[in-house]
Structure 1
Amino acid sequence: MMTNSDQYYSFWSFGVFFFLSLCPSFGLNIDGTLLLSFKYSVLEDPLSFLDNWDYNDATPCLWTGVTCAPDMFRVISLVLPNSKLIGSILEELGFIQHLHTIDLSNNFLNGTLPVSLLNASELQVLSLSNNAISGELTESIGGLKSLKVLNLSVNAFVGNLPQKLSFLQNIKVVSLSKNLFSGGFQFVEVLDLSSNLLNGALPDNFDGDSLKYLNFSSNKLSGLVSPQFAKKIPANAAIDLSFNSLTGEIPESIDLSNQKTEFFAGNTDLCGKPLKKLCTIPSTPSSPPNITTNPPAIAAIPK
């Protein structure tokens, strides 16, 4: 059964391609027309990076920030980081059929992520860090079948992490730090979820075989670092659990013992070898004294 967002996406997709089919064959190609929609949505371009984006060109392959496949003049890359662009990301970008890379990091883009962009099946790199993009990261992200790198750090995303993020078989690097995410999490090779609102306990069961770097610092994680969690951490993986509310003794495993001390700092009730802080041994109640039925001897009181 189609959701409202799916119906909207299907209607929008049909409308865009119907409009493009009416464009004259001798004008700018489809990918260029879609990119121009993004240009016109940009409110300010102080460094004039988009000045040579012109409708009179046959293709956008010589435009600033645009790369085309050499054999078919189709856009495969849009890279405009640090360009001080002010605007939003339109649905049209998601309809560029062979787009492999989008890097619009370190700009002033706002609004939400369009559904079409999360259904771009050939997209491999999506980097939108250091912008002002808000809203939830929806389950539509499951449409990014080819995604390898996802960097949405330093934005204003909210809500739970989508479960379908863990279903993306090709993904290797996920950086979602400094947002307002909460809920659960899954594992890849590199996962940075620092400075969010993650709460609850560390999971005892997760697929961490490929993990090389995990950063959960500056969240609201609580409870024990269980031996089951420790066993799932691969050798030589870096695990940053600093500045949470974790408690108890850090399990004595080779992987955790080799972590830097600062990776456990800021958890006031955490102790163990990596912190060089001994754990308090709880005292056990002593055995009660033997009680006899004989009455105690009473010394004679002199007159």
Structure 2
Amino acid sequence: MCFSYKPKFCSKKVIYTEMVIVLEIWVLISVLLYSLQTQVLVISQNLICDANDLTGLTGFMNGLESPIDGWLFTNSSSLESSSCCNWIGITCNISLGRIVRLELPNKRLSGNLSDSVSYLDHLRAFNLSNNFLKGPLPVSLFHLTYLEEVDLSSNEFDEVLPVTVNLPALQVLDVSDNNLRGSLQIGLCANSTRIRVLSFGGNYFTGSIPLQFEACNFLEHLSAASNYISGVIPDFLLTLPRLRELALENNEFTAFANRISNVSSGLVRLDVSSNRISGNLPDFFYMFPNIHYFSAHSNNLSGTIPPSLSNSQNISYLNLRNNSFDGSINLNCSMMVNLTSLNLGSNNFSGTLPANLATCRNLKAINVAKNNLIGQIPESFKNLQSLSYFSISNCSFSNLSTSLKILQHCPNLTVLVFTMNFYTERLPSDHSNLLFKSLKALVIANCRLTGSIPYWLNGLTQLQLLDLSWNDLTGMVPAYIGDFKFLFYLDLSSNSLSGEMPKSLTRLQSLISTDISLEEPSPDFSFFIWRNTSAGSGLQYNQIMSFPPKLDLSGNHLTGPIWPEFGNLKKLHSLYLGHNNLSGSIPSSLSGMRNIEILDFSYNSLTGTIPPTLVRLSFLSRFSVAYNNLTGIIPSGGQFWTFPNSSFEGNPGLCGVFFNNCEKNQLLKPQLPSEMNDEFPILRLLVIIGFGTGFLLAVLSLIVVPGIRGARKQNG
């Protein structure tokens, strides 16, 4: 190298030599690294199974009902040749030469879990989730010294958890969604002091929360949801030092502990919904300064909302629906700055909607349905710029026109449910200039509203669900409804609408070919849709997208025909046209509604026959043409064998196998060629094949056979 203090005297040759040396060193290091990596890879690929591991895997395989793809066993005499570290789902530690991870989720495995897993004594992770394994859990699994993670969720394991547990390294145990029973294992945290996740949900566990769980000082997530655990929710469980999520919903708890400590908790999510908790909700939320999610719906809670909850700074999701809370709704929105979802439905709250609720500026979903609320929608609600879902159904609110004018200022409003309010008021007319740019679902049902369907609804270009049923609306069904590109659910039943059905309804794109996509603002908010049933009862849906694609115009005074173009609505599930004054025949083209499940044309003035083409509707489960003027033979085959006589009663001219007896001349009446073409394509094909075969045989007998005989004579 050039060590001169005067670089300019270093020759170019010396500098070039130095560069070559550096390059050679770099190449040598690269070669060595590549060689080392290759050797490690070869070692890992050729790593033979430890005898204990192979014994454990053999027993594991013998417990299954079918082999695992990629697992190949050699003869027992040559165990050293088995490279199980290359098998699917297996990870080995190269330095130890032992299996440390066995992970086979979602492999459709069935059978029992063998006790031979005890031979896998260096196992750190064991994951067999989402399979079909059954039987008891082996005791030996709960005595593996190095085991850190166990996931056996979503299988069919039954019986009880082992009584003794010795898993000193355990951090995660998930046995959710199985058929396990008995009490929760009391020794888990005593022997597994560093456990972070315990998930017992979706089983049949009984008893109470073990007192020994107080030792779970490292526990961050505990789920015992959807079991039969009862008793009191202990206070120590709420104050475990590292617990962040506690899921106790869908059990049989009856109360919170009477003694609540003053220790601050790190809980972020607490769910005690669907239990049997009664009495007042404890005023203990000051203990949970970080809580974001609290759900206690579907219990027997009463009294008022405790101050420590109504002043919670970090709460974002609050669900107290389906209880017996009473008094006024008193929330301090100046403190609840992070509240985004508020569900107080199905309680006994009274008074008016508080105007200060609008100061909860981040609110996206509000449900106060089925309470004793009165008055009007506060003017301040126009400031709820984030509001997406709003339901006040089954209350006693008034002044529909003003309510709509206020809420149209909420630019993100997507779902609006006004069912069973504003009794006998008039649906705002076209002069209201109402505009809801983002609205996708509008429900103003069972309000006995008067007036007609206004033209301002035409501006709801994003509308997917419209329900104005059980009102006293008059006039015609507007043709513009057929122009809604996204509408898949329309219910105008039980009104006094008249005139013909607009043919534009047969052009609803979402019922022809378009797939519907709606982002749910609050998936567990429910509201009621009223159907035209004899009892007048409603159906509850938890999500808008759980509504079946439907057209319901029943219970009106509509006249005219059933349009043949309804057959284009291939995605429609239900078509209700009963209890009207419709006339004409039932179009045979309705067989094009290949996803239809319900057809109701009862109580009209329809004539003609029931088209035999309807037997093609393989999903049809309910069908009624009762009380019309139909004649002829009831089609047989398909779903028609399953329909009761009440589906056809009130039509003296109808007959069928299980209905009125048909006369012989009706049964023997030849079908028209068009009917043959429509109904018997297979028979038509057989006739053509038979005719062709006969023609071919005739040609052979008249031409080919005499030729052969003549040739024979000449040869003779």
Compute the TM-score of the two structures, normalised by the length of structure 2.
Answer: 0.33
Change (3 A) 1:213 1:27: closer
Shift, 1:270, TM fit: 4.1
Show the counterpart of 2:163.
139
Change (3 A) 1:246 1:28: closer
- AA of the residue aligned to 2:273: S
Moved more, 64-73 or 220-229: 220-229
Change (3 A) 1:179 1:70: same
Which of 45, 52, 55 aligns to 2:71? It is 52
Output the aligned Cα RMSD.
2.6
Contact 2:272/2:295, CA 8 A, preserved across alignment: yes
Show the counterpart of 2:181.
158
Show the counterpart of 2:286.
254
What is the distance in 1 between the residues matched to 2:272 and 2:229? Answer: 12
Change (3 A) 1:147 1:224: closer
Change (3 A) 1:66 1:224: closer
Shift, 1:255, TM fit: 4.5
Q: Report whether the alignment pairs 1:235 with 2:266.
A: yes
Which of 295, 299, 307 aligns to 1:263? It is 295
Change (3 A) 1:241 1:44: same
Which of 255, 275, 279 aligns to 1:244? It is 275
- AA of the residue aligned to 1:189: E
Does the residue aligned with 1:116 lie in a helix, a strand or coil? helix
Which aligned pairs between 1:177-256 and structure 2 lie closer than 5 A? Answer: 177-185=201-209, 186=213, 187=216, 188-206=219-237, 208-224=240-256, 226=258, 228=260, 231=262, 234-252=265-283, 253-255=285-287
Shift, 1:110, TM fit: 0.6
Which aligned pairs between 1:10-49 and structure 2 lie closer than 5 A? Answer: 29-45=51-67, 49=68
Change (3 A) 1:222 1:93: same
Which of 94, 100, 110 aligns to 1:86? It is 110
What is the distance in 2 between the residues matched to 1:227 and 1:140? Answer: 31
Shift, 1:144, TM fit: 1.0
Show the counterpart of 2:200.
176
Does the residue aligned with 2:118 lie in a helix, a strand or coil? helix
What is the distance in 2 between the residues matched to 1:223 and 1:255? Answer: 18
Moved more, 255-264 or 172-181: 255-264
Moved more, 51-60 or 269-278: 269-278
What is the distance in 2 between the residues matched to 1:226 and 1:111? Answer: 40
Change (3 A) 1:28 1:125: closer
Contact 1:249/1:279, CA 8 A, preserved across alignment: no
Change (3 A) 1:232 1:249: farther
Change (3 A) 1:124 1:235: closer
Change (3 A) 1:270 1:69: farther
Change (3 A) 1:118 1:27: closer
Shift, 1:155, TM fit: 0.5
- AA of the residue aligned to 1:171: I
Moved more, 69-78 or 271-280: 271-280
More helix by share: 2
- AA of the residue aligned to 1:55: T
Shift, 1:80, TM fit: 0.2
Show the counterpart of 1:126.
150
1:13-71 Cα deviation digits (max 9, x unpaired)? xxxxxxxxxxxxx98732123202211221025xxx43333235433110111100021
Which of 132, 139, 144 aligns to 1:108? It is 132
Report how many residues are paired. Answer: 250
Shift, 1:183, TM fit: 2.0
Does the residue aligned with 1:61 lie in a helix, a strand or coil? helix
1:248-270 Cα deviation digits (max 9, x unpaired)? 22222324687567611111334
Moved more, 184-193 or 69-78: 184-193
Q: Percent of pairs identical after alignment?
A: 28
Change (3 A) 1:184 1:55: farther
Change (3 A) 1:59 1:270: farther
Moved more, 80-89 or 67-76: 67-76
Contact 1:183/1:198, CA 8 A, preserved across alignment: yes
- AA of the residue aligned to 1:211: L
- AA of the residue aligned to 1:62: N
Does the residue aligned with 1:228 lie in a helix, a strand or coil? coil
Contact 1:158/1:182, CA 8 A, preserved across alignment: yes
Highest Rg: 1 or 2?
2
Contact 1:246/1:270, CA 8 A, preserved across alignment: no
Show the counterpart of 2:678.
none
More relative contact order, 1 or 2 (CA 8 Å, 6+ apart): 1
Change (3 A) 1:210 1:258: closer
Moved more, 255-264 or 193-202: 255-264
Compute the TM-score of the two structures, normalised by the length of structure 1.
Answer: 0.75
Shift, 1:278, TM fit: 4.2
- AA of the residue aligned to 1:158: R
Contact 1:28/1:55, CA 8 A, preserved across alignment: no
Does the residue aligned with 2:139 lie in a helix, a strand or coil? coil
Q: Report whether the alignment pairs 1:96 with 2:127.
A: no
Moved more, 244-253 or 153-162: 244-253
Does the residue aligned with 1:50 lie in a helix, a strand or coil? coil
Which aligned pairs between 1:71-82 and structure 2 lie closer than 5 A? Answer: 71-82=95-106
Change (3 A) 1:190 1:66: same
Contact 2:242/2:266, CA 8 A, preserved across alignment: no
Does the residue aligned with 2:94 lie in a helix, a strand or coil? coil
Change (3 A) 1:224 1:30: closer
Show the counterpart of 1:289.
none
What is the distance in 2 between the residues matched to 1:264 and 1:257? Answer: 18
